[in-house]
């Protein structure tokens, strides 16, 4: 990094954070919108079981989301939610969920080729939760989310927010690697999302960051949503503040200054919301 010692402290901090994120300049003004990335062919609106863009996410609480048809949902109908639980109690519930349901799950075809399920990692009482799409090759090998190249970029983003992986919670829409890193099918996501909902119900984060189109579509219950138009805008996942942003893997593929500025401004909005 160039010598910043003559700059006022605030500017020095900003430049240092930008450099951490791999950015080489301070965002000036609003960058132009990029062309929309192609939709994943696997998630055509017709085959998707979720509601259309014109129907907003239903205003129900997370508990009732658990009532969607899923054998494990019954088991959680009277399960404790995170409001009054200590971090240790939350961790125990998360461990239980993983041990009893996720680690041996055979609800969809993804179980056939997986090496490991990838449950989630981080602080059981985190204020901030990141949700990605699904494990890739490295995550499948190690059983931990976001440990490959995209994960390294996510780590830098988290560090730039003056946090560490241990401060936040990281999970995915699906817990098993889709072969060839394809997008999970709607059926695979439908089978797996109740596990994520239960994780959210236990952790009760203040803010969820949706990383990329798949996470945003499923959490906002809108299969037609365009990440390029939605990112950067505060939404609600039930009563939890929800910030959609680009997936780190997309950012690595489209590593433009504008895209890095967009993601950084989304993360700065999250920092402001959390008072970081």
| Residues of the shown chain interacting with ligand URA in the complex, contacts defined by CB under 6 A | 132-136, 139, 145-146, 148, 150-151, 172, 249
Based on CB atoms, which residue is closest to ligand URA, 148 or 186?
148
In the complex, what is the shortest distance from the CB of residue 172 to ligand URA, in angstroms, rounded to a whole number? 5
CB 191 within 8 A of CB 70: yes
In the complex, what is the shortest distance from the CB of residue 148 to ligand URA, in angstroms, rounded to a whole number? 6
Based on CB atoms, which residue is closest to ligand URA, 151 or 194?
151
In the complex, what is the shortest distance from the CB of residue 185 to ligand URA, in angstroms, rounded to a whole number? 15
In the complex, what is the shortest distance from the CB of residue 170 to ligand URA, in angstroms, rounded to a whole number? 7
Residue nearest to ligand URA (CB): 132
In the complex, what is the shortest distance from the CB of residue 75 to ligand URA, in angstroms, rounded to a whole number? 25
3 CB-contact burial (10 Å; exposed 0-12 / middle 13-18 / buried 19+) = exposed
Cα separation, 12 vs 265, whole angstroms: 17
β-strand pairing of 121-122 with 169-172: antiparallel
Based on CB atoms, which residue is closest to ligand URA, 14 or 245?
245
- Residues with Cβ within 8 Å of 113's Cβ and at least 6 positions away in sequence, in order, are 177, 179
Based on CB atoms, which residue is closest to ligand URA, 81 or 134?
134
Q: Kindly list the distances between the CA atom of residue 209 and the CA atoms of 87, 231, 233, in Å, as whole numbers in the listed order.
A: 21, 10, 11
Based on CB atoms, which residue is closest to ligand URA, 136 or 223?
136
- Residues with Cβ within 8 Å of 257's Cβ and at least 6 positions away in sequence, in order, are 23, 24, 25, 31
């Amino acid at each position: 990094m160039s010598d910043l010692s003559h700059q006022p402290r605030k500017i020095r901090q900003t430049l240092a954070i930008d450099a951490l994120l791999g950015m080489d300049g301070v965002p000036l003004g609003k960058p132009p919108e990029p062309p929309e990335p192609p939709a994943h062919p696997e998630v055509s609106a017709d085959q998707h079981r979720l509601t259309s863009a014109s129907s907003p996410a239903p205003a129900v609480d997370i508990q009732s989301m658990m009532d969607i048809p899923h054998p494990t949902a019954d088991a959680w109908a009277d399960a404790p939610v995170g409001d009054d639980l200590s971090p240790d109690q939350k961790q125990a519930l998360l461990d239980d969920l993983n041990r009893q349901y996720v680690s041996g799950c055979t609800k969809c075809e993804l179980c056939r080729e997986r090496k490991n399920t990838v449950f989630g990692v981080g602080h059981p009482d985190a204020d901030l939760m990141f949700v990605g799409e699904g494990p890739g090759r490295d995550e499948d090998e190690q059983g931990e989310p976001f440990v490959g190249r995209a994960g390294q970029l996510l780590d830098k983003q988290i560090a730039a927010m003056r946090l560490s992986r241990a401060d936040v919670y990281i999970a995915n829409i699906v817990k098993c690697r889709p072969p060839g890193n394809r997008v999970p099918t709607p059926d695979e996501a439908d089978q797996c999302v109740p596990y994520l909902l239960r994780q959210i119900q236990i952790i009760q984060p203040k803010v969820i960051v949706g990383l990329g189109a798949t996470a945003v579509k499923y959490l906002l219950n809108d299969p037609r949503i365009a990440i390029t138009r939605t990112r950067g805008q505060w939404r609600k996942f039930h009563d939890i503040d929800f910030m959609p942003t680009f997936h780190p893997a997309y950012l690595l593929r489209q590593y433009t200054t504008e895209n890095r500025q967009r993601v950084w401004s989304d993360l700065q909005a999250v920092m402001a919301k959390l008072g970081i």
